[in-house]
Structure 1
């Protein structure tokens, strides 16, 4: 089994709504065991990347209904990935260019976001210095996630995935080196996990545990996430707590295959698997052989595949028949139009 992911700068309209080529793209890939969209902003304050689609207005919900309808028409299953970028954003994405937010006011020093320059043109710009969220604001964001999940169901999604990985807002609370808060959302492992677990609980209450997944990146350093002393214990505690909630799956982003400064301790994934008793998805440089090996060894139940699925709409059939694969074109990942998006060929 495989899951198909795609994040792209495709909502190039004033409503930040998915367009017709998004529906076409995912419909072409409906043969995946599960489609997880790229990141979707839960509110106008949650925006992280230029031309990122949202799921907080009536226009956006209706546009997503067209996307999910096309996927279902072709026999697919699709979850929407809900995100708040926190500090991993830029002031040009915020209403009135206000500061971004995070667990604390510590900003990244080198990380970039695809944002808009002073002339309104898309550009890769340094992320700005955030402000720390007030305690009551954290609870409010939990509610916004729950509403986005309800919007997703109204828009035809089969479920949602909380993006708790890769240095975005939930990760900024989980991280024991970055999160130096002294309220109920900081300090101990339980406090640092509180925001993530409250979000999971709110979404489970809103749409059901069987429709709720989460993405995590233990030991990931993307967006300048620092290492911290009790990192393994923190994530194993989170795994145990998520297991109690009976959610649909946990989706782990393994950054070791694309970042030189990342390593995962030996046996950590097996320990995580023991702590979380539900379905586990692994992502990060997997394809047929190493993906099947991970499933056969019991490390995972599903393997997520991203870039190869971009270039191969019929990837499942290609892997099943050992057919050659198209190569992806990174120059078209964040551009507009069909080129490098919906124009890749399929095998006869």
Structure 2
């Protein structure tokens, strides 16, 4: 596990260790306006001992929103709200990237008042989003997604522009970089997969056409913030949200080659994190390493030992941890001294819509060294 504690230079950013706090939706933004706030600043700054923090997914427009109370990065108020977060993290010598998000068809007019947009007019089966409608415990209420409208080329250009604007706004808010969310069944992933993208124009059909939207978004983001501030998240092995595509691995490899050509800072693999999830084959990792020369992040419920082994074998460079950081603000320190870990205190608070409970009240483990 020693390798987890080694520093790394990520496109000019000095990371103090190889722990990444992975993006996790927590729905704590202030309403109305989906504005980041002081509570969120406290949450992220508590976790600044991670080598890199990647924020929760953040919508690049109202159209791109799929879940209630998730933050945005398209208004002046949102930019100012995020400044509280970046300042608090930088004060603790942390590094933080903002994850740029457009949900595509994974939405409902109950969330944002708009019909969802998607590459093709196909509704995602067995897929829900949530709203807060005054349920007891402040709980989220899940509602099924609605039928999307197929995007025309004007819509596509608009979405590309929104990602670029979001990236520009993120850097204005003080972020060290941005991560383009191309994973988990959201808009970019919908373009990548042959089962959710049945277009017959330049954005559908062949693998080359299906990666076009991802490449256009990435190029537009690079133009405004630079390649060294740009990462991309992909989820080749995740089939949730009706995303089972037999061609996806080849499509992802083609995308990786093109992203390598653009020389972006990193590719972030979102890997399955449930107990009997399929293991990622070593040959896939080896091939990705061959095709993509810069930093690779792997996230998916790994133990520190599993993460350390991937680092030792030079298959990845950084390891993302989600729930472990959610419940243990000082997770790297706990791993170092083999301290017990906090468990999730109350599942109702995961998407709590507001409030400090189950968000910023997880205790720190204090070692002697911390006191000196």
Q: Do these two structures clear the TM 0.5 threshold for a shared fold by scoring above it?
A: yes
* Equivalent of residue 251 in structure 2, options 216, 227, 234: 234
Number of corresponding residues:
343
1:62 to 1:123, Cα distance in 2 relative to 1, 3 A? same
1:267 matches 2:286? no
Q: Within 1, Cα distance between the matches of 2:256 and 2:175?
A: 25
Which residues of structure 2 form unaligned runs of 5+?
A: 1-17, 367-372
Q: CA deviation at 1:219?
A: 2.4
Q: Which residue of 1 aligns with 2:267?
A: 250
Q: Which residue of 2 aligns with 1:65?
A: 83
What is the DSSP-based 3-state SS (H/G/I as helix, E as strand, rest coil) of the residue aligned with 1:160? strand
Q: Within 1, Cα distance between the matches of 2:201 and 2:251?
A: 18
Give the alignment of 1:96-245 within 5 angstroms: 97-115=113-131, 122-228=140-246, 230-245=247-262
Q: Which residue of 1 aligns with 2:20?
A: 3
Q: Within 2, Cα distance between the matches of 1:267 and 1:260?
A: 20
TM-score, with length taken from structure 2: 0.89
Task: Give yes or no for contact 1:16–1:53 (8 Å, CA) kept in 2.
Answer: yes
Task: Give yes or no for contact 1:314–1:346 (8 Å, CA) kept in 2.
Answer: yes
Moved more, 12-21 or 53-62: 12-21
Task: Give yes or no for contact 2:100–2:180 (8 Å, CA) kept in 1.
Answer: yes
Q: Within 2, Cα distance between the matches of 1:306 and 1:236?
A: 25
Q: Which residue of 1 aligns with 2:335?
A: 319
Q: Within 1, Cα distance between the matches of 2:241 and 2:275?
A: 12
Q: Within 2, Cα distance between the matches of 1:319 and 1:219?
A: 28
Q: Within 2, Cα distance between the matches of 1:172 and 1:284?
A: 21
Which residues of structure 1 form unaligned runs of 5+?
A: none
Q: Which residue of 1 aligns with 2:12?
A: none
Task: Give yes or no for contact 1:252–1:282 (8 Å, CA) kept in 2.
Answer: yes
What is the DSSP-based 3-state SS (H/G/I as helix, E as strand, rest coil) of the residue aligned with 1:141? helix
Higher relative contact order (CA closer than 8 Å, sequence separation 6+): 2
Moved more, 33-42 or 133-142: 133-142
Q: Within 2, Cα distance between the matches of 1:88 and 1:178?
A: 12
Task: Give yes or no for contact 2:65–2:107 (8 Å, CA) kept in 1.
Answer: yes
* Equivalent of residue 315 in structure 2, options 286, 296, 299: 299
TM-score, with length taken from structure 1: 0.95
Task: Give yes or no for contact 2:267–2:296 (8 Å, CA) kept in 1.
Answer: yes
Q: Which residue of 2 aligns with 1:90?
A: 108
Give the alignment of 1:71-86 within 5 angstroms: 71-86=89-104
Q: Within 2, Cα distance between the matches of 1:261 and 1:295?
A: 21
